[in-house]
Amino acid sequence: MKIGDLAKRTGISVRTLHHYDEIGLLEPFRTAAGHREYGREEIVRLQQILSLKQSGFSLEEIGGLLERRDFDVRAVIDLHLARLREQIRARQDLCARLEAIAAHYPTATAEEFIQAIEVMTMFEKYYTKEQLETLEQRRQMLGEERMAAAPGEWTELMQNVRAHMRAGTDPKDPRVQELARKWRALIDEFTGGDPAIEESLRNMYKSETRFAEEQGVDAEMGEYIQKALA
């Protein structure tokens, strides 16, 4: 594929592709006439570069990773998928707030709008633009029906966990273990289990205490579930 065609198909500018070539990050092969062309190997490498870039690595770091003998192409794809899934949960909360406002827009209070704005700006503090875009892509992939069902599942799950906490049930109890597995499965479904993304999510819940309380999650519950998972 010629450089102009690749740029048109992928949305990556010719200038960027030239830059990658200049720094040795992505070197196309040259035709007898000196034209840059990209085959499957170069296109696969380009995908890896973009995945790593959107995962927060610098171009210099990406170059070092791609040159490693033990570099795992599939692992990078899995990492990117996980980061895409991470943003879903955060977007769910904002969707629920906006849907609630839309349902009774004429009578919605200023406080409701303020809370929605707080959530919107809060996401921007803890998630990158790429991550937010990825969450939206994940939401579309899961579908509206699944996204609408998830909040109810979370509410029921947290209620059950809270009940065991109040009853003093040991986290090692099989019933709590099962709830912990469901907790883990829901997080993995929407975040992909990416450690970095989950860390961002945890940081948001730790820092935004009022938001966490509104969701029914507190430090005590988080610690309880972590013990069960361990």
Query: pLDDT tens across 105-163, in order?
Result: 677 776 666 666 666 666 667 767 666 666 666 667 777 777 778 778 888 898 999 99
Same-domain pairing of 183 and 106:
yes
Amino acid, single-letter form, for residue 173: D
Separation of alpha carbons 1 and 69, rounded Å = 27
Separation of alpha carbons 67 and 124, rounded Å = 33
Q: What is the pLDDT of residue 88?
A: 67
Separation of alpha carbons 201 and 131, rounded Å = 12
Q: What is the pLDDT of residue 142?
A: 72
Range of the domain at 66: 3-71
Q: What is the pLDDT of residue 164?
A: 94
DSSP 63-83: HHHHT-TT--HHHHHHHHHHH
Q: Is residue 81 in some structural domain?
A: no
Q: What is the pLDDT of residue 90?
A: 58
Same-domain pairing of 130 and 222:
yes
Same-domain pairing of 55 and 152:
no
Most confident of 2-16, 64-78, 141-155: 2-16
Q: What is the pLDDT of residue 48?
A: 84
Q: Is residue 124 in some structural domain?
A: yes
Residues 6+ apart with CB under 8 A from 88: 135, 138, 139, 142, 147, 190, 191
Q: Is residue 38 in some structural domain?
A: yes
Give the 3-state secondary structure of 25-64. Answer: CCCCEECCCCCEECCHHHHHHHHHHHHHHHCCCCHHHHHH
Same-domain pairing of 42 and 102:
no
Nearest to 86 by CA among 148, 139, 151: 139
> pLDDT grade, residue 22 (50/70/90)?
very high
pLDDT at 183 over 80: yes
Q: Is residue 77 in some structural domain?
A: no
Q: Is residue 169 in some structural domain?
A: yes
Q: Is residue 65 in some structural domain?
A: yes
Q: What is the pLDDT of residue 192?
A: 59
Same-domain pairing of 55 and 126:
no
Q: What is the pTM of this model?
A: 0.45
Q: What is the number of alpha carbons within 13 Å of residue 167 lying toward its C-beta? A: 12
Same-domain pairing of 103 and 43:
no
pLDDT at 63 over 90: no
Q: How many domains does the chain have?
A: 2
